[in-house]
Amino acid sequence: MKNKADISTMGTPSTRIDEKKALAEKTLAAMTLAEKADKFRCYQKSVQSPDHEVGFFEQAFRDVFQRKPYSLREDFCGTFAVCCKWVKSDSERTALGVDLCSETLEWGKANNLVKLSESQKKRLRLLEQDVRKKNRPQVDVLAAQNFSFWIFKTRSEVVDYFKMARANIKSDGIMVMDMMGGGDCQIEGHVDKRVVKKGKRGFRYYWKQESYNPINHDASFSISFKFKDGSWIKRAFEYHWRFWSVVEVREMLAEAGFKESHVYWETEDENGEDTGEFERRDSVPSAPCWISYIVAVR
């Protein structure tokens, strides 16, 4: 049996709670900004622009069919921020997100899905599966963004994926994918960096060309984040791809059965600065680094 002295040193329940709270605050204060950061949140702020993507999907669809698209399938959807923006953009729109990574999908559910209304949630479906599977219903727009299909390193693998993608699109539908290129993208060690957010919570985004094999076009890239206190999340994301060219991709789309494809190139203003707007082009001047879209019509 404890004596009165023992009991007095134990403290009250509220005191113990205060002590635990103080310890937690002390531990948090000792953590670096990198340790406090969420790599998926940093990725979304650095890489994704759902407003732009949804706007471009509609532009590309209207260019072909002169009407508004309503259904979207996002292959390699990750945290499916684009799917969320799609269903928010119109009360009649539906979205299907497909990805193999359970961790990424779960993060999206906890951080993106919860921000939708109940009506919007009902119009968004998620599948944890290989993108090379047929699902119904077919969609107006199928998107494979952020160079994700480059994970397929052989021509036969890409053609097989494009055939399945085509099967998942309506007869009057399109497939949209982004592409990158330019000499800088093939220089090992080349880094593209930019400030994503200023202030105490700001950070820098680093996209690094880790390796490139000019014989077979195997390429590795990484994304890192650096914070105001000098701490890093190094290689938060790594990618090991085949570096495909625009002409190769268009040839494989045709082989997979798509009846036509178009390249959309970013326009420039009178000062030669990128505008963030894209238009169809058949010929463009060379550039050290560029981003474009390929739109394939089923």
pLDDT for res 25: 54
Phi, psi of 220, deg, nearest 5: -120, 140
CA distance 218 to 153: 8
pLDDT (0 to 100) of residue 83: 98
pTM, entire model = 0.86
Per-residue CA distances from 65 to 54, 58, 140 (Å): 16, 10, 10
pLDDT value at 1 more than 60: no
Confidence of residue 82 (pLDDT cuts 50, 70, 90): very high
Residues 160-177: tens digit of each pLDDT: 999 999 999 999 999 999
Structure tokens at 245: 């060219």
Q: Tell me what pLDDT residue 7 has.
A: 44
228 touches 204 (CB < 8 A): no
pLDDT score of 197 more than 90? no
- Judged against a pLDDT cut of 60, whether residue 194 lies above it is answered with yes
Q: Residue 203 carries which DSSP code?
A: E
Phi and psi angles of residue 146, each rounded to the nearest 5 degrees, phi first: 60, 35
> In terms of pLDDT, which residue wins out, 20 or 290?
290
Q: Give residue-wise pLDDT tens across range 113-162.
A: 999 999 999 999 999 999 999 999 999 999 999 999 999 999 999 999 99
Mean pLDDT score of the chain = 90
Residue burial 60-80, b: 16+ Cβ < 10 Å; e: rest: bbeebeeeebbbbbbbbbbbb
* Cβ contacts of 45 within 8 Å, gap of 6 or more: 196, 197
Query: pLDDT per residue over 232-264, tens digit each?
Result: 999 999 999 999 999 999 999 999 999 999 999
Nearest to 209 by CA among 184, 190, 192: 190
Give Cα separations from 171 to 60, 143, 259 (angstroms).
16, 16, 11
Q: Is pLDDT at 71 greater than 70 in this prediction?
A: yes
Amino acid identity at 136? R
The β-bridge partners of 224 are 206
Could you give the C-alpha distances from 222 to 43, 151, 227, 235, in angstroms and in order?
Answer: 12, 14, 17, 5
Write down the pLDDT at residue 95.
98
- 100 φψ region: left (φ > 0), alpha (ψ -120 to 50), beta (else): alpha
Share of the chain above pLDDT 90, in %: 78
* Residue written as token pair 């531990």: 27
Q: Give the domain ranges of the chain.
A: 41-181+245-297, 183-241
- What pLDDT is stored for residue 172 in this prediction? 96
CATH class of 41-181+245-297: alpha beta
205 Cα distance to chain centroid:
14
* All residues at 6 or more sequence positions from 120 whose CB lies less than 8 Å from its CB, including other chains: 84, 87, 88
